Amino acid sequence: MKIGDVAKRTGASVRSIRHYEKVGLIRATREENGYRDFDEADVLLVRRIGRMIRLGFTTEEIATFLNCIVDDPATVTTCPKVAAAHRLKLAAIERQMADLETRRQKLLITLKAASGQDDTSVPETLAHAETNPIALAHPRHPGARGLFRRRG
Amino acid sequence: MKIGDVAKRTGASVRSIRHYEKVGLIRATREENGYRDFDEADVLLVRRIGRMIRLGFTTEEIATFLNCIVDDPATVTTCPKVAAAHRLKLAAIERQMADLETRRQKLLITLKAASGQDDTSVPETLAHAETNPIALAHPRHPGARGLFRRRG
DNA sequence: GTAACCCCTGACATCAATGTCAGGGTCAAG
DNA sequence: CTTGACCCTGACATTGATGTCAGGGGTTAC
């Protein structure tokens, strides 16, 4: 099966599939003319990789546990690495959610203050009360990007 | 006041302050030797910009409404643009939170299945049941980056 | 005059998956 | 033989605030 077929059957772009091969997530044999040759198992694998990426794993992370997932027909067996990676990702996501929630609250406070017609209110967001010069931080959201990412 | 002093008093790096000037968020007069010269108002402004960035606004977004914020001593007045921008950001954050929540749920499902010792369970995350080849998407999180961002 | 700071500009690096283009093959149908 | 639809590799672009370096100059205290 050629790469274009795999792309159609998985929803991943040809470019992405080549990328997955380059970073070692999949392997492809070559035909005499140099074309990559895939089989049914590769289709399943690429789909799995797509799901992992949509879950927020990077290809580097996926590489650490992908070989730990064995699927016989109708059954999936995993080794502990998989769960460990999932727990880490879960914790990261919860950190991000907490951060977003904080920001959300501050935005709400500002909006509430701004809706109070007159201007005497000094919402935290706009106030220049912050005294500590320590730059805080937001985690950069390690989620999916590129093709899999929304446009707006 | 020189740029290094502003940096110390705001927590922003010298590099960032120069950047804010380049993108038009702040203006600095120049001394004869070419050094930037800032005043007290600039300190407040840089702090405000830092807060906005930590809230997840980009400098480009900030530029659209920063000139709409007027602060007399102890009072902040804003025009409608500010609230509008905040509402947009709020909506974006809520979209991101919903996305994270979806991912979180899927991770939890996988973890639950994986903890069921034996391997007959086929969690959604790992299953290759997905038939539609449509690549979904995650919004790229437009939040704060760089200096203000966490390391881990 | 020289060390030790500070300032200046401009440019490249970071993250990570993907898009996209250039330049070039392969192959089957007409 | 030509057209069209594939395939290949390699490289650059995207995001966006910030780090960091190079190369050069100012200022101050010793």
- From residue B110, alpha-carbon distances to A6, A25, A68, B122, B139 in Å are 26, 20, 14, 8, 22
Pairing of strands B75-78, B69-72: antiparallel
Which helix H or strand E contains A29, and what residues bound it?
strand A29-30
More confident residue, A14 or A150: A14
Q: What is the pLDDT of residue A55?
A: 94
Q: What is the pLDDT of residue A123?
A: 67
Residue B54 forms contact with A (CB below 8 Å): yes
Name residues of chain B where pLDDT drops below 50.
129, 131-152
More confident residue, B140 or A48: A48
In the predicted structure, residue A117 carries a pLDDT above the cut 60: no
Angle at A35 between CA A42 and CA A45, to 5 degrees: 10
pLDDT digits (tens, 9 = 90+) for A59-109: 999 999 988 887 776 677 778 888 999 999 999 999 999 999 999 999 999
pLDDT digits (tens, 9 = 90+) for B50-70: 999 999 999 999 999 988 887
pLDDT digits (tens, 9 = 90+) for B119-137: 666 666 666 545 443 333 3
Protein CA at A33 to nucleotide C1' at D2, angstroms: 22
Burial class (CB in 10 A: 0-12, 13-18, 19+), A98: exposed
Cross-chain residue pair B149–A141, CB shorter than 8 Å: no
CA B5 to chain A, closest CA, distance in angstroms equals 12
Q: Which residues of B44-74 are buried (b: 16+ CB within 10 A; e: fewer)?
A: bbbbbbbbbbbbbbbbebbeebbeebebeee
Cross-chain residue pair B135–A120, CB shorter than 8 Å: no
At the topology level, CATH places domain A3-78 in Multidrug-efflux Transporter Regulator; Chain: A; Domain 2 (1.10.1660)
Select from B115, B135, B114, B116 the least CA-distant residue to B126: B114
Residue B23 forms contact with A (CB below 8 Å): no
Protein CA at B130 to nucleotide C1' at C9, angstroms: 54
Q: State which protein residues have CB closer than 7 Å to strand D.
A: A 2-5, 7, 14, 18, 28, 34-36, 145-146; B 12-13, 15-16, 19-20, 23, 31-34, 50, 53, 58-60, 140, 142, 144-148
Please state the φ and ψ torsions of residue A95, each to the nearest 5 degrees: -65, -45
- In chain A, where does the domain assigned CATH 1.10.1660.10 lie? 3-78
Give the contacts of B51 (CB within 8 A, at least 6 positions apart). A125, A126, A130
Q: What is the pLDDT of residue B150?
A: 28
